[in-house]
Chains A and B, each alone.
Chain A
């Protein structure tokens, strides 16, 4: 095809086509090798800068971007409870399993209990009887998430690192965990967030978590544990922008063997990023106390 002064429209078409071809050629140009993302799971070896304790610097705000809070095993998208009111807000996304091997190794009777949990997960039965505790997913009532769930809630958390302890403050409910580095301390009693003692193995922070009570769940799908739960976490910097998080979960009352989860924790890098308080207690007072006749909304 040639430019022909007799046919201006024709010429314009030609020019457009040439331009388009050039554009296509540019878009197909290879990207420089250095800018290509590493293949999945592979990162060049990385040595993190040191914090004041001479250890890899984990200070900062971190967040997981997985859907494990809905279900730590593989799960399709779901409508969630009360779709007739909540529509998309209440729906759950699909996601892949964070459990090594895909499924949690429940004992048969424990698996039955998990299924029962799943069916009753939206049950709310606030009670002033300290001997009773029979509600559904504790997250629904703004209870503390426990470990490791706190690390994969869809909220950021901030790590503060000192030689004697590492503090984790979770935006969700302002829940806190202190990881005692030096000295280690003994748990006085069971608690929701457990009791953590940590040490370094090379560049990996290893945290031993015990004294967890049996009221927390691993997710909204009813995956649960007893108070024999014992967790060993590992936090390893992989790049300036993410950590590898692994946890080995052990509870001989409920599972046939220990099992492992892992996922990346990403650094929040926005300017002036901070935790913005998420105090959910006021959001659940009607849910919890109205059935007991204790919650009366204001008359205006």
Chain B
């Protein structure tokens, strides 16, 4: 197991992809519209994975000036690996190297494919498909590793009832579609799509912003004595994480991004976040009482291991955990002015209202 883990870790370190090196830093270089050929990208990703493995072999993690492990930098949270293990891979937690590459290739090609009959604009044109970034293949077959079957634990009976009742109750309260009936905080620009767990697992070829593997997948870790700050590209969500052991806010004070507290366990930053107002879709059904525990550790000069655990006894019979290896990317982040003239939201709601009206008309 340990060797396998080491091998996996080694495979994850990356050097700067050759095509990016020639550019002076002038923008988020993570996503490159010039990368138009999936084959090249797949090859580069494979090489990068190999180089990362090599680099990890003889390596000591750096420290900040005040002695904390230095996790600072910019990181790419995109991945094609699904959150849950597909049923056909039941029992298979890890691919071989070749299998991993094959799975990666398949995902990339599917993502790069565009059906002009249904898609007017594709992320690819803007260089924002995941494979146009330093996304890497992954030896894991799912992000979830606990439970061992790589799938979400069963919902508690309470949760099943709540979800069924909840949908009915919501419809009763708000029979017509409107801004506030959309349960997607990201579409409403209340939070970004990485609020909470910052990786959500790939959904290749997805045309939903919330599901797409690559979109707005950058993050920055910033450190100062006594603090770590996590800034997500998506909606420019920033989480301030005090490391001084202070208690959480009282339970009546709740935040969209929750209330985070961090501490070091060896070289791993452990962050516990509670006090959520209303978790987003990436909480997979967890309630506001969900406790999110994240673990950040550098496993190579350009690779961050990110693990998260969601724990909500009102939803799942047991906590569940997922892990991914995150490549380092170049700075900077950009401002993400999501809410400022959020015509996406307006169009989505208008469209939904139109559909609703059509459906009503059909009934008559």
**Chain A residues in contact with chain B, CB under 8 A?**
9, 12-13, 16, 28-30, 36, 74-76, 94, 96-97, 102
Contact = CB atoms under 8 A, between A and B. Distances in A.
B354 interface: no
- Say what secondary structure dominates the interface of chain B: loop
Nearest to A24: B72
B87 interface: no
Given A9-B22, A13-B22, A16-B24, A30 B65 contact: yes
B40 interface: no
Interface string B10-50: 00000000000110110000000000000000000000000
Nearest to A102: B250
Contact of A30 (B22, B66, B250, B252): B66
A25 B347 CA distance: 47
B253 A76 contact: yes
A76 B288 CA distance: 15
Given A13-B22, A74-B253, 10 more contacts: A12-B24, A16-B25, A29-B65, A30-B66, A36-B225, A74-B252, A76-B254, A76-B255, A94-B255, A96-B249
Contacts of A96: 249, 253
Nearest to A95: B253
Contacts of A16: 24-25
Given A13-B21, A76-B255, A28 B249 contact: no
A30 to B, nearest CB: 5
Nearest to B246: A40
Interface in B207-262: 225, 249-250, 252-255
Nearest to B70: A28
Determine which residue in A9, A16, A76 has the highest number of CB atoms from chain B within 10 A of its CB, and name it. Answer: A76
The secondary structure that dominates the A interface is loop
B64 interface: yes
A162 to B, nearest CB: 42
Nearest to B21: A13
Contacts of A102: 250
B65 A74 contact: no
Question: Which 8 pairs across A and B sit closest by C-beta, in order of nearness?
Answer: A30-B65, A74-B250, A28-B65, A76-B253, A74-B253, A76-B254, A94-B253, A102-B250
Interface of B: 21-22, 24-25, 64-66, 225, 249-250, 252-255, 277
Contacts of A74: 249-250, 252-253
A38 to B, nearest CB: 12
Contacts of A75: 252-253
5 contacts: A9-B22, A16-B25, A30-B66, A76-B255, A96-B253
Given A9-B22, A13-B21, A16-B24, A28 B253 contact: no
A9 B225 CA distance: 38
Contacts of A76: 252-255, 277
Contacts of B253: 74-76, 94, 96
A244 B254 CA distance: 28
Nearest to A16: B24
A103 to B, nearest CB: 9
Contacts of A13: 21-22, 24
A192 to B, nearest CB: 30
Contacts of B65: 28-30
A29 B21 CA distance: 27
A125 B277 CA distance: 35
A97 B252 CA distance: 11
A53 to B, nearest CB: 40
Contact of A97 (B25, B250, B277): B250
A29 B66 CA distance: 9
B24 A28 contact: no
Nearest to A76: B253
Contacts of A97: 250
B147 to A, nearest CB: 34
Contacts of A12: 24
B24, B64, B253, B277 interface centre (most CB from chain A within 10 Å): B253
B64 A28 contact: yes
A12 B22 CA distance: 9
A102 B253 CA distance: 12
A177 to B, nearest CB: 32
Contacts of B64: 28
A204 B169 CA distance: 58
